């Protein structure tokens, strides 16, 4: 599916790029943000608006599906601005060290690093760090109105704005489907609920039949809970798990569980209390609901009894089937002993178990 490209909602970030790169000639800029928030589109628009596109002074290295190290002679003598795009396939810190050496050696050039990992770019001495969040309601509405070609009831527009949750690519995709006149608002809501797991987990998705047209296949592949790159990265080097921020760790666990065949809903970042992830399963013998709590800790920082006790309290209060506690470190002995009292309701998954899950994929 080909989407109309329109630049709305990133004007401030675009001005920052122009100020630091063109006017102030700063050496090192980073652009980060979750998947599909427009990181690559931002720097491309910057190149376009500053009339640098097609200029031999711009050199781009795309690390999508690549772990290759860069050699000093890979940097063109003509280039002035070097862009390292899509640093999401990092398999080790070797590449980070490699890029730092390249940046240091070519002191006369400027560099823009683009990655979903905020923690990764902290390894560099940045002059500017731009992080792209989801659009706020006003920005979402502006983009929506710029793309939508026909009349739409206000309440229908509000429904789409709510379900796309400020994600610019989702807004584009939704409007593309509307403009195609193949889907109405209700069908798109169901499509997003079924395929992208954005709608609340309490739904009748088993009764929703979505035709797997080429548009829907593309839509499903465009937006996923987490980029496969994180799975590849941690599988190649499990210690890369410590390069994730807490939200990325939740997304990583969500994708692992999804690949294990579970219907996983990633809850909002503001939610707490043992509900980072929710697994809803409907079987012939009944419906099952699991809460998953994720804690991204350093390898020497154990999860204590307090947090495990809180999870036990949450699953008891909400009367869900069971709880799963996942951490990048390990559990204290007190926490393990406490979980034994709920051995049919609480599962503890530590760093070692996560590695086993990865090996089973």
Tens of pLDDT, residues 259-287:
888 877 766 544 444 467 888 765 666 66
Instruction: Find the Cα–Cα–Cα–Cα dihedral 152, 153, 159, 165, rounded to 10°.
Output: 50
pTM value is 0.56
Least confident of 11-15, 202-206, 302-306: 202-206
pLDDT above 70 for 163: yes
pLDDT band at 125 (very low <50, low <70, confident <90, very high): very high
Percent of the chain topping pLDDT 70: 78
Q: Look at residue 2 and tell me whether its pLDDT is greater than 60.
A: no
Residue 220's pLDDT is 42
Mean pLDDT across the stretch 78-104?
81
More confident residue, 226 or 322: 322
Return the pLDDT at 215.
44
pLDDT at 83: 95
Mean pLDDT of 191-201: 49
Q: For position 29, what pLDDT does the model report?
A: 97
The per-residue pLDDT for 262 is 81
In this prediction, residues 194-215 reach a mean pLDDT of 38
């Amino acid at each position: 599916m080909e989407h109309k490209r329109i630049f709305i909602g990133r004007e401030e970030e675009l001005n920052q790029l122009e100020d630091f790169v063109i006017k102030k000639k700063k050496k090192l800029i980073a652009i980060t943000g979750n998947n599909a928030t427009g990181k690559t589109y931002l720097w491309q628009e910057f190149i376009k608006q500053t009339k640098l596109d097609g200029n031999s002074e711009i050199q781009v290295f795309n690390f999508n599906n690549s772990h290759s190290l860069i050699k000093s002679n890979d940097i063109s003598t003509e280039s002035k601005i070097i862009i390292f795009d899509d640093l999401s396939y990092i398999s080790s810190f070797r590449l980070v060290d490699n890029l730092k050496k390249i940046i240091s050696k070519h002191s006369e050039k400027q560099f823009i690093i683009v990655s979903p990992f905020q923690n990764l770019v902290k390894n560099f001495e940045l002059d500017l760090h731009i992080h792209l969040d989801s659009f706020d309601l006003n920005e979402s509405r502006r983009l929506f109105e710029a793309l939508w070609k026909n009349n739409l009831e206000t309440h229908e527009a509000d429904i789409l704005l709510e379900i796309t949750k400020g994600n610019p690519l989702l807004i584009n995709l939704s409007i593309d489907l509307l403009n195609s006149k193949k889907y109405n608002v209700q069908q798109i809501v169901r499509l997003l609920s079924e395929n992208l797991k954005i709608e609340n987990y309490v739904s009748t998705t088993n009764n929703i039949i979505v035709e797997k047209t080429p548009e829907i296949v593309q839509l499903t592949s465009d937006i996923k809970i987490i980029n496969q790159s994180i799975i590849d990265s941690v599988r190649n080097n499990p210690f890369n798990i410590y390069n994730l921020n807490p939200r990325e760790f939740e997304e990583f666990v969500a994708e692992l569980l999804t690949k294990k065949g579970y219907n996983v809903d990633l809850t909002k970042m503001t939610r707490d209390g043992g509900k980072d992830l929710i697994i809803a399963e409907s079987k012939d013998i009944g419906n099952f609901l699991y809460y998953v709590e994720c804690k991204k800790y350093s390898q020497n920082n154990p999860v204590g009894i307090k947090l495990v006790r809180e999870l036990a309290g949450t699953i008891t209060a909400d009367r869900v089937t069971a709880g799963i506690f996942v951490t990048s470190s390990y559990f204290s002995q007190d926490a393990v002993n406490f979980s034994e009292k709920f051995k049919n309701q609480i599962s503890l998954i530590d760093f070692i178990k996560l590695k086993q899950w990865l090996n089973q994929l």
